[in-house]
Structure formats: structure tokens, C-alpha cells
Chain A
Amino acid sequence: EVQLVQSGPEVKKPGESLKISCKGSGYSFSDYWTGWVRQMPGKGLEWMGIILPRDADTRYSPSFRGQVTMSADESISTAYLQWSSLGASDTAMYYCARLRGVISRDFYDGMDVWGQGTTVTVSS
């Protein structure tokens, strides 16, 4: 079964650092991009960026560039999203999803598998 399993909920204080994870299984993790999507409480979906584990090619949304860092360890089929200094506005649900065909456009077939989401709460 193809799936993405994300790390558990986090409660942090402003200024703290955080790294959440997304582990893929049932497919060739290195050959698919992993995307990250934010959903603030009661709001819509925001595309944060994507990373290709095979070569660490990363594309950030300008809205999130410099605010978060995406990384991946293909040896353990895991992608990461990290913050060096959290703020209250980072409180949200974060989803990972897989996709392909970002460069070879003929292979694009949507963000077809999603993780269950990681809730991040930042509060003093």
C-alpha cells in the first residue's frame, strides 16, 4: 500500500525550533516529489513548496521561502519540514503529499497520496 505517514502533534513555545517528518512507503520515494501544504485553523489550503529527495531540488513558495526549510533523507524515505524560530502564526495543520511530473510535465497526475497531517500549536 502506498502511504505517507506524518509525525505526531507538536506543542511549542514562540522562538522554539521544530522539525516534522513525512515517511513514504510502498513506492519509490526518491523518484516522487514531496510537497508540503499548510492549513491554518478554519482556513483553506496553502502550497508551501516541494522537494525531490533524489537530488534535493527544492521549490519554495515565495510566501514561505526563508520561513521554513525542506529537506529529505532518501535512505529512510522521509521528508522533513523545519522551523528555526516558531511564531504564533505557524499554528496550523501541515500536510505532505506526493507528486511527480514537475519537470517532465507529461508525467503529472496530481498530488495523489496525502499524509494524515501534523498539527503544530505555538503558544506561550
Chain B
Amino acid sequence: DIVMTQSPLSLPVTPGEPASMSCRSSQSLLHRNANNYLDWYLQRPGQSPQLLIYLGSNRASGVPDRFSGSGSGTDFTLKISRVEAEDVGVYFCMQALQTPYTFGQGTKLEIK
């Protein structure tokens, strides 16, 4: 199985400030079709996870443009340009290159 490792595990951020978190995979997520099979999900407290980013850098429908995903191969980053209170929750990356798909352990974003 592909192992996903996220950092940091906890991320305190002041509202209005940027935030960045990392996700690394144990093997490259780059497919021969040139897509990186890496998603980002946000789970707000008490809610179901929601898709933020798919294929490394594509924002899902309805996701604010303050969220951006980047990276290729084994190293990926999720950035929030200006954190808002509603961004609080746990961010998970997930590889979808091969089954079983696997999640990282999550980065918990909290407001300072």
C-alpha cells in the first residue's frame, strides 16, 4: 500500500493569515497520463469530509479560490491564502493512484 504522511499534525493560524500544509507519499502519484492522483479533503467538526482539491491542483466545485493545491510525484502542498474561521477542521490528503486508496493521518487547523 502507498503510505501517506502529512505535516504538521497541528496548525494554529491567525485569521487573515496564510496557511500551508504538506503531504508526502511513499511512491510517486504521477500517472502516465500526466495527472497526479492526489486529493485534499476537509472534515469540519461534526461533519462529513468534503472534497477540496482533486488531481493535485484542481479545485472542486464551490471551493473558494483561497484554497490551492500544488506538487507532483511524492510531494504535495495545500495552501490557504487567507484563513477564515470556517476553515477550522482536519485536512486529509488521499492518494488515488492505485487501490487501496489511502489517506494521510490529517492536519488539524485551528484558529489562534
Contact = CB atoms under 8 A, between A and B. Distances in A.
Nearest to A4: B48
Interface residues of A, number: 28
B92 interface: yes
Interface stretch (A8-16, A56-64, A68-76, A80-88): A56-64
Nearest to B99: A59
A37 B48 CA distance: 11
Contact of B105 (A44, A60, A105, A114): A44
B60 interface: yes
Nearest to B43: A45
Contact of B48 (A60, A112, A114): A114
B61 A44 contact: no
A77 B6 CA distance: 35
Contacts of A45: 41, 43, 49, 92, 94, 103, 106
Interface SS majority for chain B: loop
A109 interface: yes
A95 B96 CA distance: 17
Contacts of B60: 109-110, 112
A95 B35 contact: no
Contact of B101 (A44, A47, A109, A114): A47
Interface of B: 1, 31, 33, 35, 37, 39, 41, 43, 48-51, 53-55, 58, 60-61, 90, 92, 94, 96, 99-106
Q: Which 4 A-B pairs have the closest CB atoms?
A: A110-B54, A61-B100, A114-B48, A110-B51
Interface of A: 35, 37, 44-47, 49-50, 59-63, 95, 97, 99, 102, 105-106, 108-112, 114-117
